[in-house]
Amino acid sequence: MQTRRLGKDGPRVSAMGLGCMGISDAYGRRDEPEALATLHQALDWGINFLDTADVYGQGHNEEFVGRAIRDRRDRAFVATKFGLLRDAQGRLSGVCGTPEYVRSACEASLRRLGLDTIDLYYQHRLDRATPIERTVEALVELVREGKIRYIGLSEVDAQTLRRAAVVHPIAAVQSEYSLWTRDPEAEILPACREAGVGFVPFSPLGRGFLSGRVNSMSDLPPEDLRQRLPRFQGDNFEQNRAWVSQLEALAAQKGCTPSQLALAWVLAQGEDIVPIPGTKRRTYLQENLSALEIVLGAEELAALDRVAPRGIAAGARYPEALLQITR
């Protein structure tokens, strides 16, 4: 398995990780036997970087990952996240980064995961009511106590990253990044490189849209999160499907799938980038992993830039109500 380092002084992990959210949350019904087989297959193939969060499935995802690695802890580098809050109905309701909450959230995650130490602990979203310095100071205390090894941030801006890095080295920043979400190229990706921070793209396949397998909304179950995302709605869907058809044509020329081409593009953006495509099926895991073997030349990268320039995606990433909570 190829490896990459998370940041200038951070850990080495598999060059591609596994996003575990979909096992418990967002993308239709659970199939725990297949998900367990997928996670074990990932570890067997050398994918050791597992990404979860306390909010995924309201704790179920951490519990599942914990059970899955119980007899193979030494082969797994576990990243989890804190900070997003849900109400009694399971709806996202806010963000919290107070020192007291950081500690309680960490201890709860450790219990669910069945671990003594979390390898990488991210703040899931920025709490704008709590200075980032206070949140990071609380995380530093957890590092000193051996409860976490490395500190990460998710979906923050460049200024926040710089302020946080003054308090303590940040191992990684996680943000959505793909051929249809290239926003990080403007500020946060350069800031990561300036500070020696690793960059971890989530949804590198555009929540499955870049695979070319979503041809209509009827392909998705009614409870699927994507039924509510603007990029999957009405005219936005049709506009996005039109340019993804060009991605499919380039993939055919390359002799690979659109998913593999999209992942190869993300991987080609720098050795400091470790994408975490999510899947709960072994078939897609194998397909994704094969992207590590694809080498893109300058002309192929230029062709992808023409097909998917920054800002190509029609529609916002999230509904406005959710943006009001998490932005």
Instruction: Tell whether the model's pLDDT for residue 292 goes beyond 70.
Output: yes
Give the Cβ contact number of residue 58 at 10 Å: 12
Which residues form the catalytic set? Answer: 56
Q: What pLDDT, on a 0 to 100 scale, did the predictor assign at position 201?
A: 98
Placement of tokens 């957890």 in the chain = 142
- Nearest Cα neighbor of 295 from 238, 254, 240 is 254
Instruction: Tell whether the model's pLDDT for residue 52 goes beyond 70.
Output: yes
Instruction: Tell whether the model's pLDDT for residue 39 goes beyond 70.
Output: yes
Q: Of the given ranges (38-42, 177-181, 287-291, 322-326), which has the lowest mean pLDDT?
A: 322-326
Q: What pLDDT, on a 0 to 100 scale, did the predictor assign at position 30?
A: 80
120-157 pLDDT per residue, tens: 999 999 999 999 999 999 999 999 999 999 999 999 99
Q: Look up residue 135 and give its amino acid.
A: T
- Kindly give the pairing relationship between strand 172-176 and strand 49-51: unpaired
Q: Report, as an integer, the average pLDDT of 249-275.
A: 97
199-248 pLDDT per residue, tens: 999 999 999 999 999 999 988 888 888 999 999 999 999 999 999 999 99
Kindly report the backbone phi and psi dihedral angles of residue 56, in degrees, each rounded to the nearest multiple of 5, phi listed first.
-70, 115
59-96 pLDDT per residue, tens: 999 999 999 999 999 999 999 999 999 887 778 889 99
Give the Cβ contact number of residue 319 at 10 Å: 12
State the pLDDT confidence band at 250, using cuts at 50, 70 and 90. very high
- Nearest Cα neighbor of 109 from 148, 166, 149, 159 is 148
DSSP structure class, residue 117? -
Domains of the chain: 3-205+266-290 (3.20.20.100)
State the pLDDT confidence band at 327, using cuts at 50, 70 and 90. low
Query: For residue 21, how far is the Cα from the chain centroid?
Result: 9
112-123 pLDDT per residue, tens: 999 999 999 999
Instruction: Tell whether the model's pLDDT for residue 4 goes beyond 70.
Output: yes
Instruction: Tell whether the model's pLDDT for residue 326 goes beyond 80.
Output: no
Structure pTM? 0.94
